[in-house]
A and B are shown apart, each in its own frame.
Chain A
Amino acid sequence: MSVSGLGQKAFLGALVGVGGFFVTFFRGLAALSVRPFRGRLIFKQMEFIGVNSSFIICLTGMFTGAVLALQSGKAFRLFNAEGVTGAVVALSLFRELGPVMAGLMVAARCGSAMAAQIGTMRVTQQIDALEVMAVDPHSYLIAPRILASFLMVPLLCVVFNVFGLIGSYAVSIGLLEINPATYFDKIQVYVKDEDLYNGIVKAAVFGVIISVVGCRKGFLTTGGAEGVGNSTTQAVVISSVTILISDYFLTALMF
């Protein structure tokens, strides 16, 4: 086969793969609109994705803000502009680092778990059992995860931003000795409400990406324990790469 033929085949394969993710998304969405409403399952997933991820989000958020303040504060000091450190960190967190880092952390922690849980159910015939019992797996397994992820990743993004600012404040005031009034004043001058809101919208999109990729990869698992391992790895890799690629296009659209 020629190089162009191989390229064409790879492109078509990628197109089919992307189409499959959209099928899973729309089937999950359709399942949310029909009875029964699975409130208990949705809250369980919200707890798993949101509440149980909060510690790791606080920790990574605080150190991301701290290191950002340390690097940018030292650089700004070279031309006596360290007063804008807070604004630069806040803008970076709200626009990019908050949604992207929260998305990547949730992809690693929850996207992998979704693929592993659903994949194990697939290879042990538990999904077949659901279907035989006339229960739609998209309604029971996929829709609650998509909705919970859509709701909780933006919240985690806000938590990441708050703890990032706390870390940044501690380094800026405690280590770089920036005037606290200047620190907050510059944030108020340069950071707009839309910066925060657009970051939250991004996080919601990333939440959908993580859940759809994790659920689909799990749902299509074949081949026992090795298959579950492959699905889990693929779920994390695909959702992480997709978050970074879609982040560029969302940024181009929003800002």
Chain B
Amino acid sequence: MTQPMVQIRNLHRHFGTQHVLKGVNLDIPQGQTTVIIGGSGCGKSVMLKHLIGLMSPDSGEILINGRNIFDLNHSEIKQVRTKMGMLFQDAALFDSMNVYENIAFPLREHTDFSEDRIARLVAEKLKAVGLSGIEAKTPSQLSGGMRKRVGLARAIVLDPDIILYDEPTTGLDPVMSRAIDDLIVDTQNSLGGTTIIISHDIRATLRIANKVAMLHDGRIVAEGTPQEILHSSNPIVRAFIKPGIEGDE
């Protein structure tokens, strides 16, 4: 069995009196695509922010390659983050920069590459997401789908070991959603890293996931392969996936 790349252990987090994460436990296997599904407000985004160290838990730990990221010092967490890429829900492109500068940003911050090499890598990543030749455009000139693809190009420009996607298809039309799904699969195949997706899109999840975990009311209530989740007898899982499957039929 593959050694888990990320292990979440008994993660708790409160916001005031609200107990959002109530002891999350999950293993995320290396080199595979894991999709964490769940309804709005179940704690998915909070869990994702813990995964990348933007939030600290009240208790519990997240082990990446066996090391608890909450025990790391500033320079160690920086090193871990250079091995991670993330596509934000609204892409989070820097609006003061054009597409080229956005994608070149991690390279300029973390490498000593020449400008020629940076330009080659930017062009290569833009080609990989199907957007060659838009280097000079600003984020405001791009559609929602294009912004997501540029965001993905920026996330993978350092060839990360772990790629995180926060609701990658939210707000996109079905054709563009499908294109983004295909891009996630292509990226996974070409980089071979570990992919973690937060989503409530059950159709896309069943199509691209190797493993699915369902977060409900601050806990993981089910996990398994897409087929196991599809045929789960858990009433919470059935209630969540039923509308999505019916919409597909």
Contacts and interface: CB of A to CB of B under 8 A. Distances in A.
A binds B: yes
A187 to B, nearest CB: 45
A129 B92 contact: yes
User: Interface residues of B: mostly helix, strand, loop or mixed?
Assistant: mixed
Nearest to A117: B96
Nearest to A120: B95
B88 A131 contact: no
Contact of A125 (B78, B88, B109): B88
B88 A134 contact: no
Interface in B63-114: 77-79, 81-82, 84-86, 88-90, 92-95, 105-106, 109-110
Given A126-B95, A128-B54, A133 B81 contact: yes
Interface in A112-136: 120-121, 124-126, 128-129, 131-135
A171 B93 CA distance: 53
B78 A134 contact: yes
Give the size category of B's interface with A: 20 to 34
Contacts of A133: 81-82, 105-106, 109
A126 B92 contact: yes
Nearest to A133: B106
A128 B109 contact: no
A219 B94 CA distance: 15
A208 B89 CA distance: 35
6 contacts: A36-B109, A125-B88, A133-B81, A133-B82, A133-B109, A134-B109
Given A125-B92, A131-B52, A132-B81, 7 more contacts: A36-B109, A125-B88, A126-B95, A129-B94, A132-B54, A134-B82, A135-B109
